[in-house]
Amino acid sequence: MTKSKVLALLVVAVMVASMFTGCAGGGGEIKIGAIQPISGQVSAYGTQTRDAIQMAVDEINAKGGINGKKIKLIVEDDEANPEKTVNAFKKLVTQDKVIGIIGALTSKCSLSITKEAQQRKVIMISPSSTNDTVTDAGDYIFRACYNDSFQGQVVAKFAQETLKAKNAAILFDNTNDYSKGLRDNFKKKFEELGGKVVIEESYATGDKDFNAQLTKIKGTNPDVLFIPDYYSTVSLIAKQVKSQNIKAPMLGADGWDEITNNAGEEVVGSFYSNHYSPDADDADVKNFVKKYEEKYKITPNALAALGYDATYILAEAIERAGSTDTSKIKDEMMKTNKKFVTGQIKFNEKRNPVKSAVMVEVKKGSDGKLTAGFAGIVNP
């Protein structure tokens, strides 16, 4: 074979190889997946988070994308069902060839895919899975939200210091990792601060009647009632709390976000921890809320803000890495230290963000509508 033919073959080989380099971002685009519950019991979270992720992607693409490549976002609906989360993950990774996944939303769904994401070296950043163990699978797993250890402590501290509660009752879902994790951490901190949990009652996901548990709780006359669950279940419980004439203020966590759109006056005077408040006097918050309301005609909830932040965290890490090599991207993720919508975010050694929490109070406005008013910030 002549030297010229050898050279020609080498040129062809280089051209072919270049076509497959960074295949997940090939063709002038970078593929990123999102797994959200677009339908199902917590669809208000999933649809708003999806829309916020899309808004961030649109903004990034409008500015030229990432290192000249546009982001292609592929969204899968898991209905907050772990089995469907696994199916969505497999499709995104094996068929769509994404390099990163924003999701899942709930802790139980994220926990169903973290080990496989780690094994396959796919970057995963959950906007809102707060269970402490979510990032335990390894160094490719991140989250944009604080975890239940911190959140449970925030609510317990608020109950003790602000509400002056001495005794607490807990009503939780014993089949839900999110609810159980918050129960554990609230109880631990409340008792460390000198309070007493006088009763713990449980139920299972999907239950509708809580009267038996509430009758027992009423008999203990607690100062506060902690209900760590999602808004759809809490709205049912709250009606039965009122019907039993239980006077203790109800407390919750970020799963309560959207309670003002799903419950009535029975939740007025309740408090819950959250990741941000759309009413906060903060330039980044105001700008985000303005853009979101203009685009989607609704005020964004906290999970939408987290989805927006998670998208930018991932995109900026890819840009700094200058590559779709996920090992380089995850190293750049760890260098994150920036003010986002939900606060200043940097990651600790477990890839959990070190950030503040917001407390909000459910109030009734002059127009008769329920609002979630800003009640203060608790720092880590």
- Residue 285 phi/psi, 5-degree rounding, is -65, -50
DSSP letter string, 283-313:
HHHHHHHHHHHHHHSS---HHHHHHHHHHHH
In a domain, 5, yes or no: no
Look up residue 254 and give its two tokens: 């970020």
In a domain, 2, yes or no: no
Look up residue 259 and give its two tokens: 């309670």
Same structural domain, 99 and 161 = no
Same structural domain, 286 and 369 = no
In a domain, 56, yes or no: yes
In a domain, 6, yes or no: no
In a domain, 256, yes or no: yes
Same structural domain, 219 and 111 = no
Q: Provide the residue-wise pLDDT of the chain in tens; the chain has 380 residues.
A: 454 444 444 444 434 333 333 444 445 899 999 999 999 989 999 999 999 999 999 999 999 999 999 999 999 999 999 999 999 999 999 999 999 999 999 999 999 999 999 999 999 999 999 999 999 999 999 999 999 889 999 999 999 999 999 999 999 999 998 899 999 999 999 999 999 999 999 999 999 999 999 999 999 999 999 999 999 999 999 999 999 999 999 999 999 999 999 999 999 999 999 999 998 889 999 999 999 999 999 999 999 999 999 999 999 999 999 999 999 999 999 999 999 999 999 999 999 998 889 999 999 988 989 999 888 888 77
Nearest Cα to Cα of residue 226 among 204, 206, 246, 205: 246
Which CATH number does the domain housing residue 185 bear?
3.40.50.2300
Residue with tokens 């509430």: 214
Same structural domain, 75 and 91 = yes
Strand ranges across the sheet with 123-126: 70-77, 29-36, 100-102, 123-126, 141-143
Same structural domain, 27 and 137 = yes
The domain total for the chain is: 2
Query: DSSP 3-state assignment of 165?
Result: coil
What pTM was computed for the model? 0.83
In a domain, 3, yes or no: no
In a domain, 306, yes or no: yes
Same structural domain, 324 and 371 = no
* Cβ atoms 126, 103 nearer than 8 A: yes
- Look up the domain containing 179 and give its range: 149-274+359-378
Sign, CA torsion 293/295/297/303: negative
**Inter-CA distances, 289 with 32, 178, 302, 304, 366, Å:** 24, 27, 11, 10, 22
